[in-house]
Amino acid sequence: MASQMLGVRLAEREEAEVQRLVEEGYFISASELIREAVREKLQSIRIVAIRKADYKQARKEILGWLKKNKEGFPSQISSDLNLDWDLVTRIMRDLEKEGVVG
């Protein structure tokens, strides 16, 4: 993937903090710190595309996910499988009532 150069303006205080982190060895360069910060920010605001799945299909996928991962939060399952959070929580409640999960 080709990279693009972007100019960034930082306050003196921010630039000094970046330089301190580089000098202390946390990052190889200011560019590395900025690239990592951009990647983390983009990941944190990533929009998850929810796909349509009926109860039966979603339940099957959730059971497969639980078999592989052993445990997890509904939000994690929802994100990993791109399933609607309300559907995931409903299925998880049903699985708990049935004694499949504890």
Q: Are 53 and 83 in contact (CB under 8 A)?
A: yes
Q: Please state the pTM of the whole predicted model.
A: 0.54
Report domain extents, the chain: 12-44, 55-97
| Sequential pLDDT tens for the chain (102 residues) | 677 888 889 999 999 999 999 999 999 999 999 999 988 887 777 666 778 899 999 999 999 999 999 788 888 899 889 999 899 999 999 999 999 887
What is the phi/psi pair of residue 95, to 5°?
-65, -35
Q: Strands, DSSP E only, in the chain?
A: none
